[in-house]
Amino acid sequence: MNVLLIGGGSRMTDAVIDKLNKGKHRIFLLTGRRDRQTSYKHVFQRYDYSYEDESVKDVFESVKPDLVLFMGAYDTNFDWHRERQESVRYTASLMNLLSTYSMAGRGRFVYFSSHEVYGGSYHNDIPVAETVSPRGFKAMVVAQGEEICENYRKTQGLDILVLRFDHLYGIPRRGQEENNPCYQMCLEALKTGRVSASDRRSFSMIYLNDAIELANKVIMEERPALSTYQISSMEEINEITLAEMIIKAMGGGIRLANNSVGDKYRQILDGRLYQEEFEQRIFVQYEEGVEQVVKYMKRHADAFISAEDVGGSRAGRIWHGIKTAFRRVFPFVENVVCFVPFFILNSKAAGSEYFNRLDFFLLYVLLFAIVYGQQQAIFSSLLAVVGYFLQQLYGRTGFEVLLDYNIYVWMAQLFIIGMVVGYMRDQLQFVKDENEEEVRYLSRKVDDIADINDSNVRMKQSFETQLVNQRDSLGKIYEITSSLDAYAPEEVLFYAAKVLGELMDSKDVAVYTVANGDYARLFSFTSQEARKLGNSIKYTDMEDLYRDLSEQRVFINKKMDEKLPLMASAVYTEDKMELILMIWGIPWQRMTLPEANRLTIVGSLIQNAVVHANRYLDALTTERYVGQSRVMATDAFAQLVSAFFGAKTNGLTECALLEIMTADIARASEELGKNMRQTDYMGILEDGRFYILLSNTDEKNAEGVMNRFRNSGYECCLREGDQL
């Protein structure tokens, strides 16, 4: 097929060309600028036009591409040191390319995006559907590029794909800057002899060749299931681990600077949707990839570092010192060299009818005052005075020259004019430098304002969402929590997790019941992520969480500790902790005081439903149990089994029902009750048989309980509660 590749020269461009060439495709390259110094192998035709140029239309008509690949976030034609100017040019370029592609009406358009569209920290892997949160101009325009592509795809029915890469790294081009963590750490090691890293910052990287291999599968797929894919290894690594790999590959002489302070930062793209549709295999692991990058940059260190860097060679530093000294001495040498022709011209002009009134020494002083300033003006004036004295000595004695007051007047005139002109030149240069520094300062202030504006925009969008959805209104919250009253008393706690997840807009919520003063037992959950702490936890050992809950405050995981939920709240009944509500799946932007207040309100309303249900069940204690035993009566136990298995069907809990083969139910309940947890239940169903309900226990874990019962002399088997 005919492939039009759009992008500047880079390792990524070379890798894409190499992969397309192996697939026997005809490659056309639109470079975006005139650069005759770079040559490309395997390119059938090359076009050196700007993306905004009208000639782009002619290129599309000539090539008739079946596939258009735009390098996007990885296009080296855009200089992101000038973010504001380049952001406008980037958007204009993309719009021109997409409009031209849409008019062509054929082929597929692929847009290369990056992880930069997510600017925050995320406790879980970032799914494709997660709303972007760019920070900075580059990230913002790359995210806007994704949105523009999606709008073209929906409104015009075009075949457009977005590929979002996660922290690409690979062997860089000589002298070409990159912004991936591996490159930045290697560069720091070469420049300063140390590597700064923090174990609070973690991410995943993918080697360039692996990324292009995976991307090629999507690009060549005739009917991909999605319009956006995330290319990620999903192999988490923190900065400390990466720095240790770099130091090891450097072979010594590099030290590690541990900067493990502040909040935890984690950013990993979720590539599971890609893995489900395409086979994913990572060929280059971190150790191998990092070693290749380090060896290349070390071998070509002169292309990446300057001689003045600490990491430069000794010879390089000496040469840099020589060049610096030469730059400082050169104006004086130039001054002396230029003095000679002016001295000769002034000597010849003294006897000339036409030039005897022309003062070449004054012109010489003015020249250096204008070019170099006051310092060189004084030095050139001294040389001019010496030259003038030497010329005067040709016809007179030195004593006569010293007594001639006209010479002193001429000297004063020379110094005054030279110093004044030099001073004016220095002042103009000072004003220019001041203006440039002010521009740089204001640019930094604008960057700060842009960051603040990004935060304000996110808050504005959050408030707009609240106004549209009315999710935070007390009436809406009360309406949703009141739905708990519609459930049977046995079902309230199960569906409390579902209601909490709906109100807090989270898919990962868990409800724990406090068994005693130290332990809490998992009762219901909405996802496997929410039950990652296990079925039983000793919450008093979780210092930060326990301190906030014991003081009846909402816990916010500001340190982004993976072992703790992102937010948690406790439900109390008369100063006794009854429940712990845990939320795992929320973005860091929502871990704020308003969210904590909302969780407090939601917890209080849920508490009303739970307390009401518990009081109802306590009032029926005599009817629920057989005599003074722990064996539940038929109706009560049937309702409980129905509630548990209904919640299991909805993915809110795990449970197992065991039938105990015995005729003496009283004796069996007394003996087996010693081997049961407080959260397990015994009862009799309509068939008159004895059953035990195991909460938060799947069929696999139930095998261990069954073995204990058999060791006690009681045969048992698993039954399906919904069939009874």
Given this model, what pLDDT does residue 310 score? Answer: 53
pLDDT band at 454 (very low <50, low <70, confident <90, very high): low
Q: Is residue 411 part of a domain?
A: yes
Torsion angle, alpha carbons of 64, 100, 219, 41, to 10: 60
When pLDDT is averaged across residues 655-676 and rounded to a whole number, the result is 82
Residue (of 178, 168, 172, 228) closest to 203 by Cα position: 168
In angstroms, the CA 582 to CA 591 distance is: 13
Q: Is residue 717 part of a domain?
A: yes
Given this model, what pLDDT does residue 465 score? Answer: 61
Residue 51, beta-bridge partner list: none
Residues 42 and 77 in one domain: yes
How many domains does the chain divide into? 4
CA distances from 528 to 326, 544, 652 (A): 69, 24, 10
Residues 504 and 548 in one domain: yes
Residue 475 predicted with pLDDT over 90: no
In angstroms, the CA 248 to CA 265 distance is: 25
Given this model, what pLDDT does residue 512 score? Answer: 86
In angstroms, the CA 38 to CA 47 distance is: 13
Query: Mind listing the pLDDT tens digit for each residue in 493-527?
Result: 667 777 778 778 788 888 888 866 688 888 788 88
Residues 336 and 397 in one domain: yes
The three-state secondary structure class of 512 is strand
In angstroms, the CA 45 to CA 43 distance is: 6
Given this model, what pLDDT does residue 230 score? Answer: 94
Residue 337 predicted with pLDDT over 60: yes
**Higher local confidence (pLDDT), 585 or 379:** 379
The number of helix segments (H) and strand segments (E) in the chain equals 22, 25
Q: Specify the CATH number for the domain of residue 525.
A: 3.30.450.40
> How many Å from the N-terminal Cα to the C-terminal Cα in the chain?
62
Asked if residues 360 and 346 have their Cβ atoms less than 8 Å apart, the reply is yes
Residues 63 and 113 in one domain: yes
Q: Is residue 451 part of a domain?
A: no
Residue 621 predicted with pLDDT over 50: no
Q: Is residue 429 part of a domain?
A: yes
Asked if residues 523 and 695 have their Cβ atoms less than 8 Å apart, the reply is yes
Residues 395 and 482 in one domain: no
Instruction: Give the up-direction half-sphere exposure of residue 406: CA atoms within 13 A in the CB hemisphere.
Output: 4
**Higher local confidence (pLDDT), 139 or 626:** 139
**Higher local confidence (pLDDT), 406 or 298:** 298
Rg, Å, the chain Cα set: 39
In angstroms, the CA 224 to CA 209 distance is: 21
* Residue 507, φ and ψ in degrees, nearest 5: -90, -10
Q: Is residue 234 part of a domain?
A: no
Q: Which residues of 260-269 are buried (b: 16+ CB within 10 A; e: fewer)?
A: eeeebbbbbb
Q: Which of 595, 616, 637 is the last residue of a domain?
A: 616
Residue 471 predicted with pLDDT over 50: no
Largest CA distance in the chain: 144
The three-state secondary structure class of 199 is coil
* Mean per-residue pLDDT of the chain: 82
Residue 648 predicted with pLDDT over 60: yes
Q: Please write down the HEC assignment for all residues of 229-273.
A: EEECCCCEEEHHHHHHHHHHHHCCCCEEEECCCCCCEEECECCHH
When pLDDT is averaged across residues 49-53 and rounded to a whole number, the result is 86
Residues 631 and 603 in one domain: no
Query: Mind listing the pLDDT tens digit for each residue in 57-95?
Result: 888 988 899 999 999 999 988 888 888 788 888 999 999
Asked if residues 174 and 11 have their Cβ atoms less than 8 Å apart, the reply is no
The three-state secondary structure class of 585 is coil
DSSP string, 278-307: S-----S-HHHHHHHHHHHHHHTGGGTS-T
Given this model, what pLDDT does residue 451 score? Answer: 60
Given this model, what pLDDT does residue 286 score? Answer: 92
Residue 195, beta-bridge partner list: 256
Its domain, for residue 627, covers 622-723
Q: How many CB atoms lie within 10 A of CB 161?
A: 22
Q: Is residue 203 part of a domain?
A: no
When pLDDT is averaged across residues 157-179 and rounded to a whole number, the result is 89
Residue (of 349, 394, 388, 393) closest to 365 by Cα position: 388
Query: How many angstroms from the chain centroid is the CA of residue 450?
Result: 17
Q: Specify the CATH number for the domain of residue 112.
A: 3.40.50.720
Residues 481 and 344 in one domain: no
Residues 599 and 626 in one domain: no
Q: Is residue 196 part of a domain?
A: no
Residue 662 predicted with pLDDT over 80: yes
Q: Which of 414, 436, 458 is the last residue of a domain?
A: 436
Residues 695 and 611 in one domain: no
Which is it for strands 2-6 and 26-30: parallel, antiparallel or unpaired? parallel
Residues 599 and 640 in one domain: no
Residues 696 and 578 in one domain: no
Minimum mean pLDDT range among 4-18, 309-323, 650-664: 309-323
Asked if residues 34 and 60 have their Cβ atoms less than 8 Å apart, the reply is no
When pLDDT is averaged across residues 211-238 and rounded to a whole number, the result is 92
Residue 37 predicted with pLDDT over 70: no
Q: Which of 407, 436, 465 is the last residue of a domain?
A: 436
Q: Is residue 468 part of a domain?
A: no
Asked if residues 675 and 708 have their Cβ atoms less than 8 Å apart, the reply is yes
Asked if residues 142 and 113 have their Cβ atoms less than 8 Å apart, the reply is yes
Which residue in this structure is represented by tokens 């069940």?
617
**Higher local confidence (pLDDT), 655 or 468:** 655
Helices (H), 123-172: 137-156
Q: Which helix (H) or strand (E) element contains residue 719? A: strand 715-719
Residues 673 and 655 in one domain: yes
